[in-house]
Chains A and B, each alone.
Chain A
Amino acid sequence: MAARQKWLLHPAAKPILFVVCLLPFAWLFYGAFTNQLGANPAEALIRATGDWTLRFLCIVLTVTPLRVITGTSALARFRRMLGLFTYFYVVIHLLSYSWFDMGFDFADIAKDIAKRPFILVGFSAFVLLTPLAATSFNAAIKAMGAKRWQWLHKLVYLIAGLGLLHFFWMRAGKNNFAEVFVYAAIIAVLLGWRLQQFLKKKRLQPTYGMGRKLS
């Protein structure tokens, strides 16, 4: 345990993780310029960045359960970076769609959103994720107060649901849900654990709720 903590607290741990998180982007960037993304590179880029957004969302939601279950408090120091990488990939995803699919033609984008509601769902998830990314630095937490900051950042549960719906709807055209169910199962476990923790806490402090009601 101590060894693991020491390893995670090593000053190189964060830079290493940073580089690892950039690898999918580096590969896509390289692939796009060397024409290795297959017959339809625009589609490949849009889909891959969407996949990586969902993957990072799963990873960042794993940090807290893993930290509590294994008692590895040092894991907490990576949460912000992983959250910001989720935002990084969703921004690239949105940019790839607007640029490579729509050529930044905003009239076309507006028409496309009306035609394909799943894009609106994805876009909403992006909009909701923006204040989370914008308040990720320490001063924001101080300015907002920890309680309010935590409340705001609970939005990530809703965002995960919207992201899943976006993916589900996209795949619905081909009745092809195998991958959607994998992500749904992972997110269900991660959010289920939080619900269980919440109910346990409530059971352990029955007077807390009542006391508040009386005051």
Chain B
Amino acid sequence: MLIKTHASGFNHPVPSEITPQGIYHGRRDLIKLMATGAAGAAMAGWAGRQAMAQAVQKPGKLATLAGGKSAVAGAVTMEKVTDYKDASTYNNFYEFGTDKADPAKNAHTLVTKPWSVAVEGLVKQPKTFTLEDLLKLSPQEERIYRMRCVEGWSMVIPWVGYSLSELIKKVEPLGNAKYVEFITQADPKTMPFVGSRVLDWPYVEALRMDEAMHPLALLTFGMYGEVLPNQNGAPVRMVLPWKYGFKSGKSIVKIRFTDKEPRTAWNKAAAQEYGFYSNVNPNVDHPRWSQATERRIGEDGLFAKKRKTLMFNGYEAQVGQLYAGMDLKKNF
């Protein structure tokens, strides 16, 4: 096909085609400059619109949490950002119900103040951080990531947070720390479905140490320029854009460093369906459905064909080397 659409998937550019980082980072300034009149009145309207296009609209519902520019490669996708309404009403957060509309209806009972996160296990400096400590630990950055759910749908969400590696460096993991385990809140009093037999509570997720240290692995406190809504995992969660959404634990209360691969919640529920890695991979199907395509929420209308899913959700250039030499069919 000569005419490329999103359906033809992600093509790697050759190095000579890649825009130098400096020019890329200056693109908005360039457009703004045009908008101020340098390019003439006729162009100004167009340029002004372009400058607005990726400026994330704050929904004005919760406290502001601004994130600065990120220097991390792959931190900001230029794809159209999903509507806040969709991102905050279509959620999987089983502690509040299994229907995707449930968390938005039920999560108001979650108590996020006071909140603390215990960091423990194989580290030199175990410590319990209050949320306030964590918020200040490193500068907040805006990261616009693709999010691909294992169920076959996706969104583009502007998160606010900083690389988990910043926290890891502070607590100084010991040499034998090979994995990082994320234990999330499980309070039957405020989370009505904790106690249902759907999963083994608390919801636990984990990463290999090198995955956890990857700069794209985001310790997340906000989205759309505001603090996280409860249904999206307030007050602190992980976001791992190259893995299926369920790997990104919500409402985290404990981070533990271990030497053995932890058993994660979905792996315990169905090991043959949900592997430890759960990297987005269009070539390895879920045993019960294809992972080759996805529906972009709010964009691919009823009659549109689903779009192709990208290897590592389009972050192959950044994270591919973490899995070099691994059989991804076996280590799914």
Contacting pair B90 A38 (CB below 8 A): yes
A37 CB to nearest B CB, Å: 9
| A contact residues around B297 at 8 Å (CB) | 39-40
Contacting pair A116 B295 (CB below 8 A): no
| B contact residues around A4 at 8 Å (CB) | none
Interface centre among A39, A41, A115, A116 (most CB of B within 10 A): A39
Question: Which B residues, 2 to 19, have Cβ-Cβ distances below 8 Å to chain A?
Answer: none
Contact string against A for B residues 69-101, beta-carbon threshold 8 Å, 1 for contact and 0 otherwise = 000000000000000011001100010001011
Binds B, one of A56-64, A65-73, A127-135, A172-180: A172-180
Question: Which A residues, 75 to 105, have Cβ-Cβ distances below 8 Å to chain B?
Answer: 99-100, 103, 105
A139 CB to nearest B CB, Å: 39
| B contact residues around A175 at 8 Å (CB) | 197-199, 269
Contact of B288 among A39, A103, A105, A173 (CB under 8 A): A173
Contact residue range for chain A? 20 to 34
Binds A, one of B214-222, B235-243, B299-307: B299-307
Q: Does B277 contact A (CB under 8 A)?
A: no
Contact residue range for chain B? 20 to 34
B interface: dominant SS: loop
Contacting pair B295 A42 (CB below 8 A): yes
B8 CB to nearest A CB, Å: 15
Contacting pair A40 B101 (CB below 8 A): no
CB closest residue in chain A, given B286: A115
State A40–B198 Cα separation when bound (angstroms).
23
State A112–B153 Cα separation when bound (angstroms).
16
Contact of B302 among A38, A41, A112, A115 (CB under 8 A): A41
Contact of A39 among B198, B290, B298, B303 (CB under 8 A): B298
State A99–B85 Cα separation when bound (angstroms).
26
| B contact residues around A115 at 8 Å (CB) | 285, 288-290
Contact of B89 among A38, A42, A45, A116 (CB under 8 A): A38
B267 CB to nearest A CB, Å: 14
Chain B positions within 8 Å of A, measured between CB atoms, are 85-86, 89-90, 94, 98, 100-101, 153, 197-199, 269, 285, 288-290, 295, 297-298, 302-303, 305-306
Further pairs besides A32-B302, A39-B86, A42-B302: 10, Cβ < 8 Å: A39-B89, A39-B90, A39-B100, A41-B302, A115-B289, A116-B288, A174-B98, A174-B198, A175-B197, A176-B198
List the 8 closest A-B pairs by CB distance, nearest first: A39-B90, A39-B86, A103-B305, A176-B98, A175-B198, A39-B297, A174-B98, A100-B302
